[in-house]
Structure 1
Amino acid sequence: MDHLNSTLPSTNQSDFGSLFTHQVLPSLYFVICIVGLSLNGVAAWIFFRVPSDSGLVVYLKNMVVADLLMLTSFPFRVAAELNLGGWFLHVIICRYTAVLFYSSMYVGILFMGLISLERYVKIVGHTSPPCKTRLGVSSLHFLQSVGFARGLALFNWSLLLLCVLPNAVLTSQPANESNSRHCMQLKTPLGMQWHRVSTFFSVGLFWVTLLVLIFCYASIANQIYRSYRRVRQDSSEICRKSNRSIFSILAVFFVCFVPYHVCRMPYTISQMPASGFSPSSRFLLFQLKEGTLFLSALNVCLDPIIYFLMCQTFRESLLRKMSGRRRRRRSLTTAQSASTI
């Protein structure tokens, strides 16, 4: 996978830094690190007091874990760009934290696909007449099972771990100050081959997940239209709420992940020997890759919106805790006022 300090051919990477990559982006990463930790900390605090009574809750809890893991890589990125920690910090990023960033990102992407499928089964299956429920929908009801969701979550984490762990293990060439910023130079020959394989695999997962999201959203939108035509107000209300929640996933997915994966294709080609790209073109592609990668990282701040819109239990727990805090604050203010009289 392209690492956070992913390299172009070794002679040019250090020249590709700019005001944008060395000053603007570290500041932005610092901001989303603080905001993301706050939002996901609250989400984790609420979610892990909520029983896993549905497949949806299981998938959402795993998204929280993926976001928290991704957040742990941000301080290393910021410190490295601010020239803190010396050259060895860049080695740590190449070997470990960049791998953590990408594995967490793709785990989150997979769970977005599973959540969309679960919503598709629930909404389309719920609003279709029993005699007309499609075989494809009824055959996917296992996605709503808590036991199956837990097994699938474990499978997803294991699959991504097996895919990305060699990227850390095989980044084992002797490091020094001159090659510390060039992650590909730290890889063994086998590590370079594995890097290519895992990159194609993860990008393939992304595009498959995108197709799944588009299919689910289109099916749900079609179901809404059909419900309105049948003048079934109760089903229409269910569809409107569910449409709003799954649209939040689609919006976050397109804003955060699509730009990076579109940019990644020409950027990866530009890294290859004799690619024919001019230095100015490679510089531009590097800047675009870094900017769109930041959009992918922004996902950690937008996912809590999905939790709030999609999970009624989460939403009710959050609102209940907020109202309880306001009541306690009001009671404390009243008590303090009374004591001054």
Structure 2
Amino acid sequence: MATFDNNTTQTNVSAFYCRFNEDFKYILLPVSYALVFVMGLALNATALYVIVFRTKRWKPSTIYMFNLTMCDTLYIFTLPFLIYYYADENDWPFSEPLCKLIRFLFYANLYGSILFLCCISLHRFVGICYPVRSLYWVSARRARLVSVAVWACVLFCQAPVLYFSRTRDVANERICYDTTSAELFDDFLVYSSVVSVLMFAVPFMVVMVCYGLMVRKLLEPSWGSEGEAGGESRGLGAQRQKQKSVKMIIIVLATFMLCFLPFHLTRSLYYSFRYLRQVNPAQISCSLLEASSIAYKVTRPLASANSCLDPILYFLAGQEVRSNLTKKNKSSSSSKPTGVSQGLTTQL
């Protein structure tokens, strides 16, 4: 049986031997994680400040954005440990429980972000395509219940990571596996494949369908009058609502296409090649396995970068958010007709 370690620079096979040159990751990962840490911490801290201290009336989308920001913030605080680990060339100086926790938080952030972005997209889809019915379907109470369900789903589905992630002493180093040990890889492959389908592929398809229907609705010449009749816009022009919706579509799709999709594709490819080489080493060459491993490691910082893109979804939603950053008394004037813009801003 072949044994693989995707954190070390070599891959051992009982009858075959592959040596990987992955020194690039000792520069790529610490530098990229440091950039994500600095930018993500600043952006998410600002977003949390605006949401918690400057937003008096929480709309459903405000609740989703708060949970999304909390999800990102928890992950950002784990990055200093990973920066130190990879800068020290895969020598984990901390305990195994901390290794498990950090790997768990990475995947919890990844799939928590995907699900909350899906919730935001569905919420906006209902408001655009069914403006009258959305008054009955959407409420802050239901948004809280959905958020609790999302967290429960994420924690339940990612709990096995606490089992699979572990440390192992190799030579004079202690490895903190980002997948699992070689003897558990087959089980981890099944688990990872199921999670990828349920928590990435399905939400991604839902988002694409929602945005396709939203774009078709926004392109209708009569769009806007129906929303105003239902009371959704309340003084905001249809053109302004359309601009907000277009911004949301662009940012969310960019997050999926740049952060989530490349990571899942390269990871699936790499895991498949690892498994196939275990079954039949002659079927997958070392060069092919190494190429897939490099591609996977290059996309890992992209997956982390979603922590920087998520707050932008909030800041670019509308003018009210930017005004709240500079005007302390904005909330008093937002109780008038323009006050609805705060709800629509976070509603995106």
Q: What TM-score, normalized by structure 1, do the two folds share?
A: 0.77
Q: For the residues of structure 2 that align with 1:44 and 1:311, how far apart are their CA atoms?
A: 16
Q: For structure 2, list consecutive stretches of 5 or more residues without a partner in the other structure.
A: 227-235, 331-348
Letter in 2 for 1:11: N
- Partner residue of 2:337? none
Q: Report if the CA contact (8 A) 2:112-2:150 is conserved.
A: yes
Structure 2 CA distance for partners of 1:90 and 1:207, relative to 1, 3 Å:
farther
Does the CA contact (< 8 Å) of 1:227 and 1:235 recur in 2?
no
* 1:82 corresponding residue in structure 2: 87
More helix by share: 1
Alignment of structure 1 residues 146-225 onto 2, 5 Å = 146-169=140-163, 171=165, 175-178=168-171, 180-181=174-175, 183=177, 186=181, 193=187, 196-225=190-219
Change (3 A) 1:168 1:230: closer
The residue aligned with 2:108 is: 103
Indicate which of 254, 258, 268 corresponds to 1:255.
258
State how 1:46-85 maps to structure 2 within 5 Å. 46-49=50-53, 50-51=55-56, 53-83=58-88
Q: Could you tell me how far 1:311 is from its partner in structure 2? A: 5.9
Deviation at 1:59, TM superposition (A): 0.4
**Identity of counterpart residues, as a percentage?**
26
Alignment CA distance shift 1:69-1:208 (3 Å): same
Residues 231 and 162 of structure 1: CA distance in aligned 2, closer, same or farther (over 3 Å) = closer
For 1:121-141, what per-residue CA distance to the aligned partner results, in whole angstroms no more than 9, with x for missing partners? 111223xxx6xxxxxxx3895
Match of 1:24 among 24, 28, 34: 28
Q: 1:316 aligns with which of 323, 327, 334?
A: 323
Counterparts of 1:220 and 1:120 in 2: how far apart (Å)?
6
SS state of the match for residue 156, structure 2?
helix
Residue of structure 2 in register with 1:35 after alignment: 39
Cα-Cα RMSD: 3.5
Q: d(CA) in 2 for partners of 1:60 and 1:204?
A: 22
**1:246 alignment partner, SS class:** helix
Shift of 1:87: 3.8
| Aligned partners of 1:248 and 1:306 also within 8 Å | yes
1:7–1:85 CA distance, 2 compared to 1 (3 A): closer
Q: How many residues align?
A: 307
Contact in 2 for aligned 1:8/1:271 (Cα 8 Å)? no
Contact (CA 8 Å) 2:75, 2:109: kept in 1 or not? yes
| Counterpart residue number, 2:314 | 307
Give the secondary structure class of the aligned counterpart of 1:227: coil
Q: Is the 8 A contact 1:246 1:310 kept in 2?
A: no
Letter in 1 for 2:291: L
Amino acid of the residue matched to residue 261 of structure 2?
V
> 2:117 & 2:9 partners in 1: Cα distance?
31
Displacement of 1:25 after TM fit? 2.6
Q: Tell me the alpha carbon deviations over residues 144-167 of structure 1, each in whole angstroms, 9 at most, x when there is no partner.
A: 311111111111111111122232
Tell me how far 1:19 sits from its aligned partner.
3.8
> 1:307: Cα distance to partner?
0.6
Matched-pair contact (CA < 8 Å) for 2:48–2:66: yes
- Give me the whole-angstrom Cα distance separating, in 2, the residues matched to 1:10 and 1:279: 9
* Letter paired with 1:82: A
Q: Do 1:59 and 1:153's aligned partners in 2 also have CA atoms closer than 8 Å?
A: yes
Paired residues of 2:127 and 2:134 also in contact (CA < 8 A):
no
Task: Show the counterpart of 1:125.
Answer: 130
Q: 1:22 to 1:175 in 2, by over 3 A?
A: closer
Alpha-carbon distance in structure 2 between the residues aligned to 1:313 and 1:255: 28
What is the CA-CA distance between 1:119 and the residue it aligns to?
0.5
SS at match of 1:48: helix
Equivalent in 229, 240, 243 of residue 243 of structure 2:
240
Where 2:291 maps in the other structure, the secondary structure is: helix
Structure 2 contact 263–300 (Cα < 8 Å) conserved: yes
The structure richer in strand per residue is 2
TM-score (structure 2 length as normaliser): 0.76
Gaps of 5+ in 1: 131-137, 324-341
Q: Distance in 2 between matches of 1:84 and 1:18?
A: 10
